[in-house]
Amino acid sequence: MAQRFRGGVHSSTLTTQILLGSLSLLLLTMVLGGFLFTMISNQTLEWQYQLRALGIASTTAQMPEIRSALAAKDPQHIIDGLARAISGDDVDALCGGPFDVAVNCIT
């Protein structure tokens, strides 16, 4: 009987070791997966922001008002006025320009 009891203790210890090993492997896998997911998500989000900023800059650079302002000696005055108009501070200034549809101009 003593041998059976000892055998039960050893099998219980082995079972416990296997369980702890499996749980630690599962925890390690989850932590590593979460870390990789976070890194990939951050890189993807940064890439999307870069593409969005490039698209906005490209569209803005193609505006005739911006091109003529850059050719002028003092572009800051013209570009600041356009920036205020685009941001919504001066919606009426956009009517008749490329933003007619965006600001719902009434003609």
Q: Please say whether the beta carbons of 105 and 96 come within 8 A.
A: yes
In this structure, what are the phi and psi dihedrals at residue 98, rounded to the nearest 5 degrees? -70, -5
Element (H, E) at 105: none
Scanning the structure block, which residue is given the tokens 């002028």? 72
State how far the Cα of 74 lies from the Cα of 70, in Å rounded to an integer.
8
Q: Please say whether the beta carbons of 88 and 104 come within 8 A.
A: no
Does 49 score more than 60 pLDDT? yes
Does 101 score more than 70 pLDDT? no
Q: Give the per-residue pLDDT at 60.
A: 84
Q: Which of 34-48, 57-71, 75-89 has the largest mean confidence? A: 34-48
For the stretch 91-98, contacts whose Cβ atoms lie closer than 8 Å and that sit 24 or more positions apart, written own/partner, are: 97/65, 98/63
Does 102 score more than 90 pLDDT? no
Average pLDDT value for the chain = 79
Does 70 score more than 50 pLDDT? yes
